[in-house]
Amino acid sequence: MRKILKRAEPQSLAQWRAANGNDLNFGYGMIGAPLRLEIRRALVLEQGGICAYTGQFIDENACHIEHPKPQRHCARGEDVAYQNMVACVPAPNKPGLPYGAHKKGDWPDASQEHLFVSPFKPACGTRFSFTLRGEVRPKNARDMAAGETIVRLGLDHEWLNQFRKAAIDGTLAIKGRGRGSLDLRSARRRLNGLNAAEQVNGPLEPFCFVLRQALEKHIGRVNAIRASKRGR
């Protein structure tokens, strides 16, 4: 997960709210397919082309609109507020996934909002740690919210572990030389590239926040090996 900086909402959404705000059925269910597509386009651009929860690749046709504050718990108008929208896998009307927005469902309610590390929270990305095997855990073992968020969003699901591991292995390997073979200069250049893309908000590489951690660990390990050899 990485922090999402919200941009200005699509003008068409603001116009829609103004035109429909007095309707007795006013809410997200009234938004038609063309406007939903416009919203997805804006969200994908805002998020650098990755899912708000999982970090997987998305485009306007490979995501749906998710409400961090679930629609079930929204006051009138909150479910059509752009500030309560992110883009997540999978595409609309696709079978449910065992992780991410589908897994989250109607969680959290008001009593558990403090246990949800949302992508809008400052430094949310620093609260999760990823191993080189793609596994995720709270950065701080006492961070109950991070632990609960991992469980509720299924961020530790075996499929996501495998996807992340494949991305890590591909990043840390030189073609034809196997896992962990990336040299120090290339690792630093790769990390700088990921950081630079983040500064301009994309497009971002799938699992970029995972890959940054993996590269930092790899660089530290290579430096430690070099220091050990010099000390012999």
Task: State the DSSP string of 60-106.
Answer: TTS-EEE-SS-GGGPPTTGGG-GGG-EEESS-TTPPPPSSTHHHHTT
pLDDT level of residue 53 (50, 70, 90 thresholds): very high
Q: Stretch 45-59: mean pLDDT, rounded?
A: 98
**pLDDT of 230:** 76
Other C-beta atoms lying within 10 Å of the C-beta of residue 90: 18
**pLDDT of 123:** 93
Q: Stretch 200-208: mean pLDDT, rounded?
A: 89
Q: Stretch 15-32: mean pLDDT, rounded?
A: 97
pLDDT level of residue 180 (50, 70, 90 thresholds): confident
For the chain, domain boundaries = 11-227
Q: Stretch 198-204: mean pLDDT, rounded?
A: 84
pLDDT level of residue 225 (50, 70, 90 thresholds): confident
Q: Which residues contact 43 (CB under 8 A, 6 or more apart)?
A: 63, 65, 85, 86, 87
Q: Which residues contact 179 (CB under 8 A, 6 or more apart)?
A: 169, 172, 173
Q: Stretch 139-164: mean pLDDT, rounded?
A: 98
- Is residue 228 scored above 90 in pLDDT? no
Other C-beta atoms lying within 10 Å of the C-beta of residue 177: 10
- Is residue 38 scored above 90 in pLDDT? yes
> What percentage of the chain reaches a pLDDT higher than 70?
99
For the chain, what is the mean pLDDT?
95
Identify whether 138 is preceded by a cis peptide bond (ω within 30 of 0): no
**pLDDT of 176:** 65
pLDDT level of residue 232 (50, 70, 90 thresholds): low
**pLDDT of 12:** 98
- Is residue 122 scored above 80 in pLDDT? yes
**pLDDT of 200:** 81
Which has the minimum average pLDDT: 3-12, 29-38, 221-230?
A: 221-230
Chain centroid, CA 42 distance in Å:
16
Q: Stretch 31-60: mean pLDDT, rounded?
A: 98
Task: State the DSSP string of 143-183.
Answer: -HHHHHHHHHHTTT-HHHHHHHHHHHHHHS-BTTTBTT---
